[in-house]
Structure 1
Amino acid sequence: MTTAVLAPVAGTAVGLAAVPDPVFSAGLVGPGAAIDPARRPGRVVAPIAGRIRKLHPHAFVVVGDDGRGVLVHLGIDTVQLRGEGFELLVAEGDRVGAGQPVLSWNPAGVEASGRSPVCSVVALDAFAEAVTGIAAGAVAAGDELFRWA
């Protein structure tokens, strides 16, 4: 079974190695991809259909019915913003469809605070070789970002 993981934000798809945080860039959280987001306010969408298991203003985890979890982490050190510039649109425990808005944010505001707005999208508890077809270049929110076999 293969899961299509969607881009949660619009921007430029890049490898996790480009994320300016060693926890993500070294793949310690898991394999996946990253997006250098467009610098305009926008909505962040669910990368897969499932239930919101963890929800913070700067990050969330969606777990599909097959038990696969995908982490979306918006920016680096954004937990320090204490939710400023983020607006939750769903609640922890809610079911979401792939591509459904989960929260809104302003990547330019994150950057103005001196932080990187790069978004990491990680297949939790996956083997590196299970993630294939990683997009490169421009992506829109809801486009396929990678496949999880």
Structure 2
Amino acid sequence: MTTVLAPVEGAAVGLAAVPDPVFSAGMVGPGTAIDPLRGRVGRRCEAVAPISGKIMKLHPHAYVIVGDDGRGVLVHLGIDTVQLKGKGFHLLAAEGDRVSAGQPVVAWDPAAIEAGGRSPVCPVVALDAPAESVTGITEGAVQVGQELFRWE
């Protein structure tokens, strides 16, 4: 079993609440989403590794960490944020790095994403997982590093 932790603080809202049909329909994989806590524009917060493992993909707006068991978890910081071409994101790790669960990976500003007309909602997805393998999905307020779901 893999325990997936919340990469950001906010409210766990479920994938159905993601304003993107690919995520909301579960096409990327099962999991949940977090509506991140927003401070004032200009206040960065850190998105952390949801599991321990190796950063296999790292874009300013999204990252995939693969654990020693071969399971990959995607964290996507906001919707349509790829269009920002990295503006507003600061990498705190590098692709290929080994990270521990809870280790900062990217600093970003959810309030600035929202102010720019995009949703800051963060899907957290178990890649290549059958829907029934994800259990114990947390709902409501979550802190960084709190259990978000289990991947059986």
Where in structure 1 do 4 or more consecutive aligned residues deviate above 4 Å? Answer: none
Deviation at 1:14, TM superposition (A): 1.0
- Could you tell me which runs of 5 or more consecutive residues in structure 2 were left unpaired when the two chains were aligned: none
| 1:23 aligned onto 2:22 | yes
Q: Render the CA deviation track for 1:114-139: whole Å, top value 9, x for unaligned.
A: 00000000000000000000001100
Aligned residue for 1:108? 111
Aligned residue for 2:56? 53
Structure 1 residues 1-149: aligned runs within 5 Å: 2-40=1-39, 41-149=44-152
Q: Which amino acid aligns with 1:82?
A: K
Q: Render the CA deviation track for 1:72-123: whole Å, top value 9, x for unaligned.
A: 0010000011111110000000000000000100000000110000000000
Q: Which amino acid aligns with 1:30?
A: G
TM-score, normalised with respect to structure 1: 0.98
The CA RMSD measured in Å over matched residues stands at 0.5
TM-score, normalised with respect to structure 2: 0.96
Distance 2:79 2:128 in 1: 21
Distance 1:15 1:38 in 2: 16
- Could you tell me which runs of 5 or more consecutive residues in structure 1 were left unpaired when the two chains were aligned: none
Q: Which amino acid aligns with 1:148?
A: W
- Paired residues, what number? 148
Distance 2:87 2:111 in 1: 13
Q: Is the partner of 2:34 in helix, strand or coil?
A: strand
Q: Is the partner of 2:29 in helix, strand or coil?
A: coil
Q: Is the partner of 1:24 in helix, strand or coil?
A: helix
Deviation at 1:55, TM superposition (A): 0.2
Distance 1:136 1:66 in 2: 26
